[in-house]
Structure 1
Amino acid sequence: MLTGKRILLIIGGGIAAYKTLELIRRLRERGAEVMPVMTEAAAQFVTPMSVTALAGHPVHRDLFDLGTEAEMGHIQLSRSADLLVVAPATAHLMARMAQGLADDLATTLLLATDTPVLLAPAMNVRMWEHPATQRNLGTLQSDGVRFVGPNAGDMACGEHGLGRMAEPLEIVAAIEAQLGAGPLKGKRVLVTSGPTHEAIDPVRYIANRSSGAQGTAIAAAVAALGAEVTFVTGPADVAPPSGVTVIPVETAQQMFDAVHGALPVEAAVFAAAVADWKVDGASDQKIKKEAGGLPPLSFTENPDILASVAQMTTGRPALVVGFAAETTDVIAHATAKRARKGCDWIVANDVSPATGIMGGRENAVHLISDSGVEDWPRMAKDAVAQRLAARIAEALA
């Protein structure tokens, strides 16, 4: 809960500004006091009257409001809050922050404050990926500014990719975590993600078709709820989330060692697509193609990371969550896997090529536990992660 907390909400000028109305409502229902500030451009997307009505405070817009400036109102406004939140944080606003500009009320508040700042970026995918924006991101992070999002998804401009503002409940969770009010505050959570690569020779390897998107989203979601996250990731297509301890690995054996080195934890989520087998005696030289037949390859099993943790007799996490990617009889195979491995929950999904889930943007999962099977609707992987993180927090409460 956020009872008694004062949030200074700076609303930037982007289409995602409409989400701030829901954000204000969610913050107030948790007991927070919301003091709204709008940029000139923000008023093109949401009305000050709507924001005022939901916040219960008048919107601040003008740096040169003589009624408040007599007492240096913009200084007091920025320092009386427990947290400054910028949503949406546009590319333009991030650039001005990174350069230390103070040419309107919003940037002046941000420059004059000694209060923590949380940004929820929102912009076109090309703008987010542009080197200038990434430089500004790095500058702001080094200045101590925290971020929630952006998420991947469809945008108002018709493009798809990173740049969507985080959903209101995600931002609320990040605010709670920032203020020490997250439901996973003080809990340690281990998340594995991505594929593993098992060498055949120095240039060839065996791997699974995993982008790492779901595991990355889960790590971000539990971190947003206040958890201290150790993120063990194979060679994934997506970048690891910020605010977590990242341990990069390549092989299943390296992941096994990293996982056991990260224990103890309260919860462990095994979302990685670990190769079941590796070549027994991989060549240290490139295997040459020669006439007369294929090179003989023999295989050996990789260590079973999930089972090794789920079946620990001492120091076992209170909650162990496995994943089951299946192509047939999804529920039956996943239920059998849960019993065989000894984990508490299995998150099962159908990764048949027709579903587009493996490497895609969405997921449709079944949560299997002692309570039975929960069929979750198809949704964005970020949404799956948020729902799973909420269930983890409930289980560890």
Structure 2
Amino acid sequence: MLQGKRITLIVTGGIAAFKSCEAARLLMKSGAEVTAVLTEHAAEFVTPLTFEALTGRPALTTEWRKHPGGPMPHIDLARTSDLILVMPATANIIAKAAHGIADNLASTLLAARRSPVIFVPAMNEAMWKAPAAARNVEALRLDGAVFLGPVPGLQACGDKGPGRMMEPREVAEFIEGFFAPKVLAGRRVLITAGPTYEAIDPVRGITNRSSGRQGFALARAARDAGAEVTLVAGPVSLSAPVNVRRIDVVSAREMDAAVQEELDGGPCDLFIGVAAVADWRPGAVAERKLKKTVMGVPALADLIWVENPDVLTRVGTRPNPPVTIGFAAETAEGAMLTAFAREKCVRKHASFIVANDARRALNADTNEIRIVGPDSERVFGPATKLECARFILECAAELLAKRPRQA
């Protein structure tokens, strides 16, 4: 996505400036051409030479010195940049950008910008909450600027609250998808991911194996494609992609309730059920840990099992359902895998089923998938789970293009 993209990285004065070095490295690694612009105060925290070593290009600090790109670097960069990234974005640079103040190279470049701009704020939590800062941020957002963060946490000054700069990995990941084709622009997407866990007693339970990686990759890819994304996640140790709304659940009933509430609450264009939902649960949860045996009789042998709600079928059979996509993790391949997926597609009223061989996909970074509809089949991979996610969404976008938007 970033191969050959020209990104201007504006670094302003703040303790978080050192993290911008890592952002520059990650963007370069993804194929971007990065030019760093440092304010006078930024150079007190990290030197221009650091960025020159990381990017292979001169780091610019002033317009009053001859530069390789020409005598007016603010105009040259404004003309050639595909994206301007301000990281860290202090209260000072945000205020200057909001009011068109141009008193140094960084602020003059922002005043002359012709490309999209992303601000990654970092400041004291009181400064971020100040009414003036809120007005400035809102003005820039109305002008089309994107803000990433800040996030809550402990700050260098010792205060706690929203003000910490978002981590470079998250910023680079967001930018990588920033240039993706917006095939889902204006669409609302609901995704389930991960396993569910059904308690037997306070310490025991049953679950399905699922890392959640494919579902989280789909959430990221849908966001990159321009959708408004809600992710209903079972118990996994993954961080949600930036700008994806996350709802955490544990059991199948909790997941079903969250999905139904989301669908009842407003229009939804696309539902993707990736979660490995447990089919059964104990009829009752013991208040205390069950002993292995009671009077020599295995206690767990007497459990009564109750069927869980079928989330995918309940979505597919709703009045005016969204485009509904399910997953089939099987221990089969070839024609047998396709047959299982096709039967599931019809039985669960899905638009199509994404089938794979669970023996190869579970806890792996790659996947090989089959997109199986009632009378169609497409094979993709082996590929990374993010690449698989993008292919799945391309197939979904084709179906959405044939349907009116949900009202």
Q: Which residue of 2 aligns with 1:272?
A: 275
**CA spacing shift, 1:41–1:98, aligned 2, 3 Å:** farther
Letter in 2 for 1:340: R
Alignment-derived partner of residue 316 in structure 2: 310
1:379 aligns with 2:383: yes
1:44 matched residue in structure 2? 53
Contact 1:19 1:167 in 2 (8 A): no
Alignment of 1:85-96 (within 5 A): 85=118
User: TM-score, normalising length from structure 2?
Assistant: 0.65
Report how far residue 71 of structure 1 moved: 7.1
Aligned to 2:342: 335
Residue 395 (structure 1) shift:
3.3
Q: Gapped runs of 5+ residues in structure 1?
A: 1-5, 25-34, 49-58, 87-93, 101-111, 121-131, 152-164, 177-181
Show the counterpart of 1:63.
62
The residue aligned with 2:353 is 346
Deviations 1:227-262 (A, max 9, x none): 111211111121222312222111111111111111
Deviation at 1:166, TM superposition (A): 3.5
What secondary structure does 2:275 align onto? coil
Aligned match of 1:215: 215
Give the partner amino acid of 1:316: P
For residues 33-54 of structure 1, what are the alpha-carbon distances to aligned partners after superposition, in whole Å with 9 as ceiling and x for unaligned?
Answer: xx95466444435544xxxxxx
Please list every run of 5 or more consecutive structure 2 residues that lacks an aligned counterpart in the other structure.
Answer: 11-19, 38-47, 66-70, 75-101, 126-136, 402-407
Determine if the alignment matches structure 1 residue 83 to structure 2 residue 148.
no
Query: Which of 281, 299, 308 in structure 1 is aligned with 2:284?
Result: 281
1:196 and 1:340, CA in 2 relative to 1: closer, same or farther beyond 3 A?
A: same
Cα offset for 1:311? 1.8
* C-alpha spacing 1:382/1:134, structure 2 compared with 1 (3 Å): farther
Tell me, yes or no, if the aligned pair for 1:117 and 1:146 is still in contact at 8 Å.
Answer: no
Contact 1:321 1:343 in 2 (8 A): yes
Q: Distance in 2 between matches of 1:71 and 1:240?
A: 38
Give a deviation string over 1:336-390, Cα, whole Å, max 9, x none. 11111110111111112xx2x2122222211112562222112222222233233
**Mapped partners of 1:213, 1:225: distance in 2:** 18
What corresponds to 2:399 in structure 1? 395
TM-score by length of 1: 0.67
AA aligned opposite 1:80: A
Look up the match of 1:159. Answer: none
The secondary structure found in structure 2 opposite 1:77 is helix
3-state DSSP of counterpart to 1:308: helix
SS in structure 1 at match of 2:313: helix
Q: Spell out the pairing of 1:195-234 with structure 2 (5 A cutoff).
A: 195-234=195-234
Number of residue pairs aligned between Structure 1 and Structure 2: 316
Distance of 1:216 and 1:375 partners within structure 2:
21
Measured against aligned partners, the alpha-carbon deviations of 1:56-83 in whole angstroms (never above 9, x if no partner) come to: xxx8723353455997443220233353
The residue matched to 2:195 in structure 1 has which SS? Answer: coil
How do 1:98-137 residues align onto structure 2 when only pairs under 5 Å count?
A: 116=145
Computed over aligned residues only, the root mean square deviation of the Cα atoms, in angstroms, reads 4.0
Offset from partner CA, 1:86-126 (integer Å, 9 cap, x none):
9xxxxxxx8x95589xxxxxxxxxxx995735679xxxxxx
Alignment pair present for 1:245 and 2:258: no
8 Å Cα contact 1:188-1:229 kept in structure 2: yes
Partners of 1:230 and 1:245 within 8 A in 2 = yes
> What SS does the aligned partner of 1:201 have?
coil
Q: CA deviation at 1:183?
A: 3.2
From the superposition, tell whether residues 396 and 42 of structure 1 become closer, same or farther in structure 2 (CA, over 3 Å): farther
The residue aligned with 2:96 is: none
How far, CA to CA, are the matches of 1:251 and 1:286 in structure 2?
19
Seen in structure 2, the aligned counterparts of structure 1 residues 239 and 64 have a Cα distance that, compared at 3 Å, is same
Deviates further, 218-227 or 285-294: 285-294
Moved more, 384-393 or 302-311: 384-393
Secondary structure at 2:179's aligned position in 1? helix
- Give the one of 85, 98, 106 matched to 1:74: 106
SS in 1 for 2:363: coil
Say which one has the larger Rg.
2
Cα distance in 2 for partners of 1:287, 1:235 equals 23
Equivalent pair of 1:148/1:170 in contact (CA under 8 Å): no
